[in-house]
Amino acid sequence: MTTQASAPSPLVLVLGEEELLIERAVRSASDAAKAADPTADLSRIRVSDLTVPALAEMVSPSLFAEGRVIVLESAHDISQELADGVMAYVKAPAEGIVLVVVHSGGGRSKAAKALPTALKKAGAEVVECPKLTKAAERESFVRNEVRRVGGKIDGAAVLALIDAVGSDLRELSSAATQLVADAGGAVDEQAVRRYHRGRADVNGFAVAEKAVAGDMAAALESLRWAMQLGVPHVLVADALADAVRTIARVSGAGRGNPNQMAGELGMPPWKVRKAQGQARGWGQDGLATAMRIVARLNAEVKGAAADPEYALERAVLEVVAAHGTPSR
């Protein structure tokens, strides 16, 4: 006996700004529609490129009743007229059509800000996709990714993986999946270290480690290798920022037992020990300068700089120069 697929939700609100989670939510809605109707077609369009008549045509019932998944992207840019058109449609949705509205949760106009609440009241299935900005959220994400592919991972391995890969969710997901496959399901800290040992020479953390140590030649060499191998600019910038901030936090906490300080600072003991060693070459003025540099770099690699590679090289040189700056 075959089991008939349950009918997909006709209205899905994908709410948030985390791109990987958004893509997964859209794919899930599409898969549900295709499970009910294998011929269902997927269409994606930004609301800024859509008119009310075009929307009406997209959501009008088909002569042959083919299934459709219509994704309205960047709905936080929606106009009042188009928002009214969407709400008019959801009051009487067409059979076989799944409307997916992707919205950041914000918006400039009154209509854009009000749309998520209106869609929720209309009975939309809501998929939350917030940016994962806190360390605990990224740790939870890694655990869930490992669990999703049938594996297990301990706390030390979670922290080691984030330290090795960075904060990009796509990178973390890919690494977690590969580690589960390589480690036979159970991932520990040693498995993470083995897996990333070969990569360590070309990722952003290698660049950062050389820069905060004041080793200009090695830092520039690592940076150039990373750029040639296609390491994303934002990952190198994140690694440099993480290294500087970690040294600043550990330095500010004073001297102490790394095992005791680990709990207070929310870091694994090995990371505290490493930062304590790195902090010996830094004065408070130098750290303050380095913090300003990495804050500027964050904006530059995300679009503020015309040439992100030049911005990275300049930031590395400036961080190296700040190393060893005596406090006044």
Q: pLDDT tens digits for 256-294?
A: 787 778 777 777 778 888 888 888 889 889 999 999 999
Q: Mean pLDDT across the chain, nearest whole number?
A: 87
pLDDT of residue 164: 77
Question: What whole-number distance in Å separates Cα of residue 169 and Cα of residue 245?
Answer: 21
% the chain with pLDDT above 90: 45
Least confident of 4-13, 34-43, 67-76, 194-203: 194-203
Cβ-based neighbour number of residue 295 at 10 Å: 13
Report whether pLDDT(102) > 80.
yes
- Is pLDDT larger for residue 199 or for residue 315? 315
For residue 10, give every residue at least 6 positions away whose Cβ sits within 8 Å of its Cβ, in sequence order, or none: 93, 97, 98, 99
pLDDT of residue 175: 85
Task: Measure Cα distances from 108 to 2, 28, 82, 128, 278 in Å.
Answer: 49, 29, 15, 20, 44
pLDDT of residue 325: 63
Report whether pLDDT(328) > 60.
no
pLDDT of residue 186: 92
pLDDT of residue 201: 47
- Is pLDDT larger for residue 119 or for residue 168? 119
Of 75, 57, 142, nearest to 112 by C-alpha is: 75
Report whether pLDDT(2) > 50.
no
Model-level pTM greater than 0.75? Answer: no
Mean pLDDT score, 213-231:
84
Mean pLDDT score, 104-111:
91
Question: What whole-number distance in Å separates Cα of residue 61 and Cα of residue 124?
Answer: 20
- pLDDT tens-digit series, residues 46-93: 999 999 999 999 998 766 667 899 999 999 999 999 999 999 999 999
**pLDDT band at 184; cut points 50, 70, 90:** confident
**pLDDT band at 200; cut points 50, 70, 90:** very low
- Is pLDDT larger for residue 69 or for residue 183? 69
Report whether pLDDT(4) > 70.
no
**pLDDT band at 230; cut points 50, 70, 90:** confident
- Is pLDDT larger for residue 223 or for residue 253? 223
Mean pLDDT score, 112-126:
96
Task: Measure Cα distances from 34 to 22, 50, 217, 264, 314 in Å.
Answer: 18, 25, 55, 49, 50
